[in-house]
Amino acid sequence: MKALVTGGAGFIGSQVADALIENGHHVEIIDNLFTGRRENLPAKAVFHHLDIRSDEIHDVFARGGFDVMFHLAAQMDVRKSVADPAYDAQANILGGINLLQACKNTGVKKVIFSSTGGAIYGEQVEFPAKENHPQNPCSPYGISKLAFEKYLQFYYSEYGLKYISLRYANVYGPRQRGDGEAGVVAIFFERLLAGQKAVIYGDGEQTRDFTFVGDVVKANLAALEYSDIGAFNVGTGIETNINELFDIIKEIVGSKQGRIHEPGKPGEQRRSVIDHTKINNAMGWKPQFTLRQGLLKTAEYFRKL
């Protein structure tokens, strides 16, 4: 199968591309390298250094003859989306529509979209949230992801372009960055290993559903084999607050730093945890890594940097 991976030089996208190649698929990657890294690119993938908003995208699709597009390229920082909603919309909505037009025009059969399970639901009223939970995003990032899911529904109903929307919890693991790709796990590891100050914003009692990247890659592969359409949560269903997370990482790296709190950031949810029953029933997917197992593997990666 011929697969295009947008954002394929990034934290999750590069590992999806690796897995596709390992499974015998031809892979091409589009990435603007704003946050992705060349060293993440699989040697066997064809790389196109492009922004997804570029008109040149259409030439890549015309030459590629792709069967499926894994769409991971995004502006994915909640705080940046609050500071600059227009840029967030340009990247996540207009860039996405550019890709969907290219898919429609070149006969792509399926889109597997990396959405968000936390930010789409907003402040939850049910824990963990199922896919039919009210969708009230607290940030422009969540709004843009939800809007693109609606465009996927339109392109399916109008043009027959199949789609799977994978609503990720808070993904962490090797190749995540503490700067360009915001992730508290990566930030804590980078700073504590370097002996630098690691800050907890707010009281640290806010919760997240931390899901290991290896499990997320397996969800993408499962979605490739699934014949129907729809949105599916990809998470553990387990809440962990940021204070607890800090304490576990501190213990793993052997740091003596205590908790340092600073004021909370706008646009961030208080509690976020999602239910994975639907994807388990439909595709047989469930998380394999506990939080401690995933953090230990993540620590191995950061110690080698």
- The CATH number for 179's domain is 3.90.25.10
Burial class of residue 291 in the structure, from the number of CB atoms within 10 Å of its CB (0-12 exposed, 13-18 middle, 19+ buried): buried
Residue 258's domain comprises 172-207+239-273+289-304
What is the distance of C-alpha 90 from the center of its chain?
18
pLDDT the model gives residue 285: 98
Confirm whether 141 is a catalytic residue.
yes
Residues 6+ apart with CB under 8 A from 157: none
Strands in 153-270 per DSSP E: 162-168, 170-172, 199-201, 207-208, 210-212, 230-234, 240-241, 260-262
pLDDT the model gives residue 180: 52
Identify whether 278 is part of a domain: no
**Annotated catalytic residue within 141, 163, 172, 226:** 141
Statement to judge: residues 93 and 185 lie in one domain: no
For residue 178, what pLDDT band results from cuts at 50, 70 and 90? confident
Q: Is the pLDDT of residue 98 over 60?
A: yes
Statement to judge: residues 250 and 217 lie in one domain: no
Q: Is the pLDDT of residue 304 over 70?
A: yes
d(CA 30, CA 4): 7
pLDDT the model gives residue 277: 98
Tell me the pLDDT of the chain averaged across its residues. 96
Identify whether 279 is part of a domain: no
Statement to judge: residues 116 and 22 lie in one domain: yes
21-30, 128-137, 173-182: lowest mean pLDDT where?
Answer: 173-182
d(CA 191, CA 214): 23
Q: Is the pLDDT of residue 268 over 90?
A: no
pLDDT the model gives residue 78: 87
User: Which structure tokens are listed for 104?
Assistant: 């429609």
Do the beta carbons of residue 244 and residue 207 sit within 8 Å?
A: no
Entry pTM: 0.97
Statement to judge: residues 131 and 185 lie in one domain: no
Q: Is the pLDDT of residue 227 over 70?
A: yes
d(CA 41, CA 217): 15
Statement to judge: residues 44 and 190 lie in one domain: no
